[in-house]
Amino acid sequence: MTWRKFSGEVLRTPILEEVEHTIERETTLGNKLKVCIGTDSQVKGTVTDFATVIVFLREQRGGFMYIHQERTSQKMSIKERMLSEVQKSIDIAYKLCDLLDLYDVDLEVHADINTNPMFKSNQALHEAMGYILSMGFVFKAKPEAFASSYCANKMVQ
């Protein structure tokens, strides 16, 4: 699984190692961190592009992110696609949660799902929320889900 920085630079070490180095570096610099993980997708003809982001927020000092992109030609309903996004976010959150607990870094999982029933993505809201919360993660949906709705969204277009 290839991860990169926003600049396009490919990360050379496994993501778990990279996140640990990042936490150690930022802590040494005196920054209090929070991590938000989110995924967004976009259908383009017969393919669906996904972007998953790990956003590091420095308390009162901005933030940065790591990005993973993938593509599938599997046909999915809107609900399946929303739940695939959530699955991708949970997969990475699960890989990182012990490390984040060790360093006392808060974690949120963001779902690009609208809380307004007028939007199609809303049909996946209850399943996504139940899944994320049952895994023990803090859940955020639109409009609070900036990691998926803004950060990942910019990477998937």
Q: What band does 121 get if pLDDT is binned at 50, 70 and 90? A: confident
Q: What is the pLDDT at residue 123? A: 86
The tens digit of pLDDT for each residue in 16-57 reads 999 999 999 999 999 999 999 999 999 999 999 999 999 999
Q: Is the pLDDT of residue 9 over 90?
A: yes
CA 104, distance to chain mean position in Å, is 19
Check: CB of residue 50 under 8 Å from CB of residue 88: yes
Q: What band does 86 get if pLDDT is binned at 50, 70 and 90? A: very high
pTM confidence score: 0.94
Check: CB of residue 90 under 8 Å from CB of residue 110: no
Q: What band does 10 get if pLDDT is binned at 50, 70 and 90? A: very high
Tokens of 142: 């639109």
Q: What is the pLDDT at residue 63? A: 96
Q: Is the pLDDT of residue 131 over 80?
A: yes
Best-predicted range by mean pLDDT (96-100, 146-150, 152-156): 96-100
Classify residue 120 as exposed, middle or buried by CB count within 10 Å of its CB (0-12, 13-18, 19+). Answer: middle
Q: What band does 110 get if pLDDT is binned at 50, 70 and 90? A: very high
Q: What band does 122 get if pLDDT is binned at 50, 70 and 90? A: confident
Q: What is the pLDDT at residue 120? A: 86
